Structure 1
Amino acid sequence: MKFSLEIKDILKASSVIFLFIFLVKIFGAFKEIVIAYKFGVGPVVDAFSFVFAIVQWPITIFTSIMTAVLIPIIHKIARETTSEKELFYKEVFALTILFSIFILIVIYFTFHFLIHYNVFQHSLFQIVFLKYLIFYIPLGFLIALFSVITMANQKHINTLLELCPSLGVILLLGCFDTYMSLVYGILVGSFIQASVLGVFLYFKKELFLPQISCTSPYWKLFFTASGIVLLGQFFMSGITLIDQYFAATLASGSLSILSYSDKILGLFLSLATIVIGRSILPIFSKIHVHNTDILKLLVLKISSGLFLVGIILSVFISLYATDIVKIIFERGAFTFMDVMKVASFLKLSSYQIPFFLSSIVLSYSIISQRRYWVIAWSGFFAFCCKLFFIVIFMNHISGLELLAYSTTFVYCFTSIYCLGAIIIKKN
């Protein structure tokens, strides 16, 4: 009976999150349609995709760490006195602000250092975009913190508010026909998202003024777990940077093709990641406490089911990639030749879907058991697999095809690795 209730909790949480994420993805897809209409495949989208990937990288790592580490701590603090909770919230708020400013400075000067020594091909667009997009880093860090606190309290307003950056870009591109609308739209939308979340948490008494100190007894637990998770996320998120860097060395428009294809694929993959992660992680954690055998059986069934769903999606996208890209993007500056280029890469990229979906469930099961070192090694091995595949097949597979095949290889390895870690674990 208790197990049935947990399944119902998963379905209930998943349905609410799915609805919100679906709306977010609709706005995100429309944003990409507007960008494609205005700029097509070219240097503007190349530069924006490259710079945004750089500033998004530390935010992605920070968000993953906070989700995996902070939520269990928040649940533990909930049983303590109000003063203990308030102290930790104040200190983690201050730490987030200071750390985001530090990362902002490091990213800015590192980027200019690489440009100065011609480490990669760059354009004036990239330099201009970085000048403003760098301020997305502190906004992204605050949004990550506020979102995790909101999720820990089983609220989902943070998920719905994720449409703000896309809405900002859509509105500004609609009003002003300039490439800077991309940057201002992201910044304005993110500022609104962070502000609304902050006000919501303040009135819920879940947010307090920051206090620069580190006296809470929970910091030891936080830093220990964070260090391990950071290793894994550093390498996993580094895979995206490898793709961006490799694509930047190819012909003009390669980054645009990669970006447009990822956006379409992201409609499926990120939707699955968010819904699965935000709905099953708390439930898996509860089941693990009571019965690890039931958890293992449940995880294997869900991952197998999603693997089959992934095969169906992969076949569907492979068959109708051209039609999908044509319907979404072919208008304005986005020509039929652009459609064929993006569709060709999208077909190859769709092969990763079955392995990606199953690996998400398997990895969250491991996280729910607090086996952070397993996840850390998973990220390291995945990063090595990416580099290994590119180096070995660089002379045999050309251009963007190499990136598509290497990503599929990475997720295939990750699925097998996580599955093995679950099966061989002793109770």
Structure 2
Amino acid sequence: MFPMFRSDWIRTRIRGLSADHLRIARSAIWVSLFVLLGKSAGAMKEMAIAYRYGVGTIVDAYQLTFTLITWLPSTAVTVLGTVLIPALVRLRDQDETERANFLGELQGWSLLIGLLFAGLLYLCWGPAVQVMGGSLSPETRQMSLRLMVGMLPIGILTLWISVQAARLQSRERHVNTLLECVPAGTLFIATLLFGTGGSITPLIYGTSLGFIIQFLWLSVLARRADGIRPRLKFSLGSKEWPFIWHAAGVYMLGQVAMNAVTPLDQYFVAHLGDGMVATLGYANRVLALILGMGALAISRATLPVFSDIRTKGDHHRAREVALKWTAVMFFGSFFVVFFAGIFSEHAIRFLFQRGAFAAKDTIEVARIFRWNLVQVPFYFAAPVMLQLMASQGRFKVMASIAVLSFFVKALMNLLLVQWLDVRGIVLATAAMYASSLACYLIVALRLGRDE
């Protein structure tokens, strides 16, 4: 019998791991489980939408609207999550008054910024749809306008949700990942119970109600985790703000570029004709389950640990742990790609092929999904190095790499879409993540030689 399959050998290897590796592994397992449950709810939601609406104009309008509504808030959420968690880890050593003051100010400004985003979106919706709509029909564009009006609360609540999630993650509690399935669950119920195939009302109320429930639930759990009931404040008195503004301002530049990738893809795919936005969307939803269980899990598991190591001043240990986990995620992903490629068509048929979603749609979505798998190894590994840089406050490096990666993506879209249609879009995404991972590894190794 091979020694690596013996239980005593496995137990010995596990006991030999450092506490940092065990903390990351334990958190990653929990996050992966929560992601599986959450993405399963998302898959059920997609099954319901496919059953009621197929790949028609309503799905095109919904996905375009959701992308535009969440673009700016999602950019801010990514920045907040990356910048806030190290700050909240540091604040654990401060008195409760300082922590409550900072959280109150943070929630107050999150509300104001969310309202600002919603107002800008409402005022600029016409030009945005005109630019992003491509060759979509006038009916689809008009439907998008109606969806936007009903889904505006999402843009306001997204920032508040991210603040509560950061409070939980800074305590290495990852139930926020599980609660990300709430909007999918409410949309699933609304679509099945009230969807008629021609009405967009279930999509509006199902999505918006889900975000409201998610916010309220997270708020309760965050208060239990840190014992703080912050009151809304609209001042900037906390001593954490100089660090937050500097880090967020620099990193925001990179995230604006990276979060522009989804609208960029929507722009290119919309010019391929009606139905293609929905086809790519279904393929991406299935891929999101795989990416979430790997990349999202390791990303959320590593940042609190790296931040804790940084507070102790041991940069060498943090880099060593990060490089090992990068290798584990990169090479481990090939097993995922292999099995996902084999069973892709069966999975998509099981998930979507019913009602308005026909067999030919299954074949097309599975084809795009297989091409999408090229990005998985790079997407799994890059977040580990990104979180290492975030824990060390190297936001200029992160912003520079993000901007460079976006230009790689835009250039590859221009070059590949004309030859490979929608396949060019997914290959361009793989090139973007590959360039990002390469840049992070180069920076980490150079910093290691300089220390």
TM-score normalised per structure 1? 0.94
Partners of 1:228 and 1:376 within 8 A in 2: yes
User: Does 2:74 match 1:60?
Assistant: yes
* Equivalent runs, 1:126-275 vs 2, <5 Å: 126-177=144-195, 178-202=199-223, 205-275=227-297
* Equivalent runs, 1:328-367 vs 2, <5 Å: 328-367=351-390
Partners of 2:382 and 2:436 within 8 A in 1: yes
Shift of 1:117: 8.1
* Paired amino acid for 2:206: G
The 1:166/1:218 distance shift into structure 2, 3 A limit, reads same
* Equivalent runs, 1:274-293 vs 2, <5 Å: 274-288=296-310, 289-293=312-316
2-structure distance, mates of 1:113, 1:79: 48
* Paired amino acid for 1:300: L
Instruction: Identify the range of structure 1 (16-25 vs 398-407) with the bigger mean alpha-carbon deviation.
Output: 16-25
* Paired amino acid for 2:170: A
* Equivalent runs, 1:50-129 vs 2, <5 Å: 50-115=64-129, 120=134, 121=136, 123-129=141-147
The 1:301/1:251 distance shift into structure 2, 3 A limit, reads same
Secondary structure of 2:298's counterpart equals helix
The 1:240/1:67 distance shift into structure 2, 3 A limit, reads same
| 1:41-87 superposed Cα distances (whole Å, 9 cap, x missing partner) | 11111111111011121222122112211122222223223322222
Shift of 1:293: 3.4
The 1:255/1:217 distance shift into structure 2, 3 A limit, reads same
The 1:3/1:336 distance shift into structure 2, 3 A limit, reads closer
Shift of 1:153: 2.6
Partners of 2:169 and 2:304 within 8 A in 1: no
Secondary structure of 2:46's counterpart equals helix
Partners of 1:6 and 1:283 within 8 A in 2: yes
Shift of 1:118: 9.1
2-structure distance, mates of 1:258, 1:192: 29
1-structure distance, mates of 2:387, 2:438: 14
* Equivalent runs, 1:323-402 vs 2, <5 Å: 323-395=346-418, 397-402=419-424
Secondary structure of 1:417's counterpart equals helix
2-structure distance, mates of 1:317, 1:9: 28
* Paired amino acid for 1:68: T
Partners of 2:50 and 2:352 within 8 A in 1: yes
Shift of 1:347: 1.1
Instruction: Identify the range of structure 1 (272-281 vs 328-337) with the bigger mean alpha-carbon deviation.
Output: 272-281
* Paired amino acid for 1:10: I
2-structure distance, mates of 1:17, 1:295: 21
2-structure distance, mates of 1:225, 1:117: 32
Shift of 1:291: 3.7
Among candidates 21, 43, 48, match of residue 62 of structure 2: 48
Secondary structure of 2:190's counterpart equals helix
| 1:336-361 superposed Cα distances (whole Å, 9 cap, x missing partner) | 01011111111111111111111122
Among candidates 330, 345, 366, match of residue 322 of structure 1: 345
The structure 1 segments of at least 4 consecutive aligned residues displaced by more than 6 Å after TM superposition are 116-119
1-structure distance, mates of 2:414, 2:131: 24
The unaligned stretches of length 5 or more in structure 1 are none
The 1:287/1:240 distance shift into structure 2, 3 A limit, reads same
Secondary structure of 1:154's counterpart equals coil
Partners of 1:62 and 1:144 within 8 A in 2: no
| 1:382-422 superposed Cα distances (whole Å, 9 cap, x missing partner) | 11001111223344x13211101111111111111111111
1-structure distance, mates of 2:21, 2:129: 52
Among candidates 321, 330, 334, match of residue 307 of structure 1: 330
* Paired amino acid for 1:12: R
1-structure distance, mates of 2:172, 2:309: 17
1-structure distance, mates of 2:41, 2:420: 34
User: Does 2:19 match 1:5?
Assistant: yes
Count of equivalent residues: 426
User: Does 2:56 match 1:38?
Assistant: no
